[in-house]
């Protein structure tokens, strides 16, 4: 018997937005529980994100090292970014992020996996793409600002990232989920069996 997540929405009797930020906000809902009681749930409202696990022909993954203020760490990550435009095609957003953060383009794109990183406190949905057949992008590099101005770029063997994730040395959600999903796919039906890059994404519907 297979298992899968299913969409469901419990009754909300009241809702307010006590905080609105630049990209996200906080919502407070009064939610009716199965026993008829009503509880308060506070959560972050998020536009959604994409991430790119870019794998080169030597089995190395393109990673970035960036300061993340909330956790007071410099984290190794894979290229990622927000879905800034409602209804934006996530593949186009992923291609943009790979270009802007790494000045790289890819010819082969597939969906690696879809995740809700913190569903207990945030409605963010992330689609992680696998990008292969990499090459340098044409034109000038994208100008970076703020934390991204201090960003480092490297290509690291996949096995080293898996080791670091299992050893508790790498912590970024998309990096850890991405490299472990990649390894699982390679040991299963293979990378060519992954979903196509334009596969439906109910969490963030888009137009092709």
List, as own/partner pairs, every contact residues 21-27 make where C-beta atoms lie below 8 angstroms and the sequence separation is at least 24, other chains included: 23/47, 23/82
**Cα–Cα dist 15/12, whole Å:** 7
Task: For residue 95, give both structure tokens.
Answer: 């291609």
Rg over alpha carbons for the chain, rounded to the nearest Å, is 19
Please, which residues have CB within 8 angstroms of residue 122's CB and are 6 or more apart in sequence?
A: 43, 44, 45, 46
Catalytic residue among 124, 148, 169, 207: 148
> Is 152 tagged catalytic?
no
- Tell me which residues are annotated as active site: 148
């Amino acid at each position: 018997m297979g298992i899968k997540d299913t969409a469901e929405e419990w009754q909300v009797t009241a809702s307010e937005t006590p905080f609105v930020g630049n990209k996200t906000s906080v919502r407070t809902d009064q939610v009716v529980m199965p026993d008829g009681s009503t509880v308060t749930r506070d959560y972050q409202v998020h536009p959604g994100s994409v991430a790119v696990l870019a794998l080169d022909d030597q089995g190395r993954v393109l990673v970035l090292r960036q300061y993340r203020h909330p956790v007071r760490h410099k984290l190794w990550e894979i290229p990622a970014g927000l879905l800034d435009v409602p209804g934006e095609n996530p593949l186009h957003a992923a291609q943009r992020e790979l270009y802007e953060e790494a000045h790289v383009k890819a010819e082969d794109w597939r969906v690696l996996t879809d995740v809700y990183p913190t569903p207990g406190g945030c409605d963010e949905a992330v689609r992680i793409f696998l990008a292969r057949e990499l090459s340098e992008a044409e034109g000038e590099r994208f100008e970076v600002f703020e934390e991204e101005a201090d960003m480092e770029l490297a290509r690291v063997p996949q096995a080293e990232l898996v080791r670091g994730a299992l050893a508790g040395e790498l912590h970024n959600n998309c990096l850890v989920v991405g490299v472990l999903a990649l390894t699982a796919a390679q040991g299963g039906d293979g990378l060519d069996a992954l979903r196509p890059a334009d596969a439906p994404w109910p969490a963030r519907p888009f137009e092709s």
